[in-house]
Amino acid sequence: MSKRVAHIVLNDFVNDNRVLKECNSLIDAGYEVSVFALKTERTQAHQRIGKIDVHRVKLWTEIMPSSWNPIKYLEFMFRMQRKLRGFDIIQVNDFEPFPTAALHKMFRPSVKIVYDSHEYQSEKNGMGNFTRRLIRFLEPRLIKKAEAVITVSQGIRQEYERLYGLKDIEVIFNAPHRMSVKKRNLFRRRFNLADDTVIFLYQGKFHKGRGVEKVIEAFAKLEGEKVAVVFMGNGPLEDLVRESAKKYNTIFLHEAVPYEVILEHTASADFGLLTTENICLNHYYCMPNKLFEYIQAGLPVITTPLYDCKNMVDGLEIGFVLDEDSVDGYLGAIRKARTMPPGQFDKALKIAADHYHWAVEEQKLLGIYSRL
């Protein structure tokens, strides 16, 4: 009889590619998998995504103001207890659902918990002091109730081992599936860029703390030169990017594209930018999805000097690291990239693409579940 797995996320499960990949991998290996998420206006209460059953909980307290968030959370936690009956394994994704699973384990000690921490939970940018203190208090107590702990980078793994005295934390990178991606010219055609223009790609959300402003300022200083940056995505700083694209002939805005076609767009650039700023430990130890997307698309990577990103880019020799995270640092990197011969990183990128893709990460996940 196959084991039943409940994945819990505290979002509406619309754009959670990591959890989606994990669920599909488990289903292909013979597990029965259901996802429990939050019901929002844009989502259905019950949905079938491929072979995954998705159940979204509509909170009765949803209409209450944000000051009621603790009450909303308690409602979710207690209503989930009945829904989790009959499941053999509960995987909690990030810290927020962890108390829900831990409460269930109090009454059903046989249930196994897998904790997949997608970030350095207590060190996220913009987190309030109360929330930070609460996680620092609860996480070390709850994490010992998990039969397995997963995270997304070596740096976070090392920190969790140091903080909590744990061993056997598994790092599962959020890498895409292995794909054969041919070099494309979608950006050149879309924005009428010359063949000798070097295209740099910013891919993802336009948030504060992601280096958007510095990249814009750097490329504004290069107006008229044979370089261009394409911002592909959306987010709070989208208006800033749009206005900059109207003003400067080296800056372009491309709408976000579906996950299924993202790599063919990625492969239309010459260099991929990792611009996360070192403003919190969660950023310092991050391992962005786009790093692995750049690798699969064959793009050399230019990264800010963050712990894990620097180690991977330097270690695999698939690009280079900014001398400093500043406008001058970006200007130096752009000029350095322009002078590099085409194909300099191709061999290293091919080797990296063969090693960092979901089929490899999937085996780590299945190994964990086989031991539960």
Residue 260: the pLDDT is: 85
Residue 65: the pLDDT is: 87
* Tens place of pLDDT per residue across the chain (372 aa): 799 999 999 999 998 999 999 999 999 999 999 999 999 999 999 999 999 999 999 999 988 888 888 999 999 999 999 999 999 999 999 999 999 999 999 999 999 999 999 999 999 999 999 999 999 999 999 999 999 999 999 999 999 999 999 989 999 999 999 988 888 899 999 999 999 999 999 999 999 999 999 999 999 999 999 999 999 999 999 999 999 999 999 999 999 998 889 999 999 999 999 999 999 999 999 999 999 999 999 999 999 999 999 999 999 999 999 999 999 999 999 999 999 998 999 999 999 999 999 999 999 999 999 999
The amino acid present at 107, given as its one-letter code, is: F
pLDDT tens by residue, 54-106: 999 999 998 888 888 899 999 999 999 999 999 999 999 999 999 999 999 99
Give the position of tokens 């009621």: 68
The amino acid present at 185, given as its one-letter code, is: N
Other Cβ atoms less than 10 A from the Cβ of 195: the count is 7
Residue 15: the pLDDT is: 83
Name, in order, each residue with C-beta under 8 angstroms of 272's C-beta and a sequence gap of 6 or more. 200, 201, 203, 266, 290, 291, 293, 294, 297, 299, 300, 301, 302, 319
Residue 63: the pLDDT is: 87
**Distance (Å, whole) CA 318 – CA 197:** 21
Residue 225: the pLDDT is: 94
Which residue ranges make up each domain of the chain? 4-175+358-370, 186-355
Could you tell me if 307 and 289 are in contact, meaning their C-beta atoms sit under 8 angstroms apart? no
Helix or strand or coil: residue 324? Answer: coil
Exposed / middle / buried, residue 175 (Cβ in 10 Å: 0-12, 13-18, 19+): buried
What pTM, to 2 d.p., does this model score? 0.94
Cα-based distances in Å from 231 to 66, 243, 251, 255:
32, 12, 8, 8
Helix spans in the chain (H): 17-28, 69-83, 98-107, 129-142, 154-164, 186-191, 212-220, 238-247, 262-266, 281-284, 289-297, 307-316, 327-339, 346-355, 358-370
3.90.1660.10, 3.60.21.10, 2.60.120.260, 3.40.50.2000: which CATH number matches 4-175+358-370?
A: 3.40.50.2000
Could you tell me if 232 and 254 are in contact, meaning their C-beta atoms sit under 8 angstroms apart? yes
pLDDT tens by residue, 234-254: 999 999 999 999 999 999 999
Matching CATH topology for 4-175+358-370 and 186-355?
yes
Residue 184: the pLDDT is: 84
Could you tell me if 358 and 179 are in contact, meaning their C-beta atoms sit under 8 angstroms apart? no
- Please determine, looking at this structure, whether the domain spanning 186-355 carries the CATH number 3.40.50.2000: yes
Q: Phi and psi dihedrals of 153, rounded to 5?
A: -150, 155
Give the position of tokens 């991050």: 286
Could you tell me if 104 and 87 are in contact, meaning their C-beta atoms sit under 8 angstroms apart? no
